[in-house]
Amino acid sequence: MKLFDLPVSVVGYAVCDDAAWFNRRVESDWAASVERWSQLPDITLEPETRDHSVGPGYGLAKSSTYELIVELARLEGIVLDPVYTAKAFEGLIHDIDAGHYDQVDDIIFMHTGGVFGLFSHQLELGRAMS
């Protein structure tokens, strides 16, 4: 999706459901926002959602996801959660490795929080730390 008239693309990473569901949701949320706040521009969005990093289910993650959480925390001090942000980040890493962004100069990952999602995953994270 283009961000207004800026040379910026926004790509979402689904961590549940599929790309079609999220694309419809973005479009309907934007339409509802424009209806509620008339100062917003009435533009047509073309959302892009990648859905290959959903994982085994809501609140469930693969061992590679836990390993990514531990590695990123050790290397950069950035803490991801296994419910949302780690799955999205894992999808982004996969796409970078696969060449999906070869024509892109800069990538910004929006970390939306979720550190509290770590608490119920202490056993899995412990395994990933060893």
Answer for the pair 50, 110: CB distance below 8 angstroms, yes or no. no
Q: At residue 5, does pLDDT exceed 80?
A: no
Q: What is the pLDDT of residues 27-73, one digit of tens each?
A: 999 999 999 999 998 888 888 999 998 888 888 899 999 999 999 99
| Distance between CA atoms of residues 48 and 66, nearest Å | 26
Residue 46: what are its φ and ψ, rounded to 5°? -125, 75
Q: How confident is the model at residue 130 (pLDDT cuts 50, 70, 90)?
A: confident
Domain definitions of the chain by residue range: 11-129
Please give the CATH architecture assigned to the domain spanning 11-129: 3-Layer(aba) Sandwich (3.40)
Average pLDDT of every residue of the chain = 90
Q: At residue 3, does pLDDT exceed 70?
A: no
| Distance between CA atoms of residues 94 and 101, nearest Å | 10
Answer for the pair 114, 88: CB distance below 8 angstroms, yes or no. no
* Model pLDDT, residue 88: 94
Mean pLDDT of 19-31: 94
Q: At residue 7, does pLDDT exceed 80?
A: no
Within 10 angstroms of residue 122's Cβ, the number of other Cβ atoms is: 9
The more confident residue out of 68 and 113 is 68
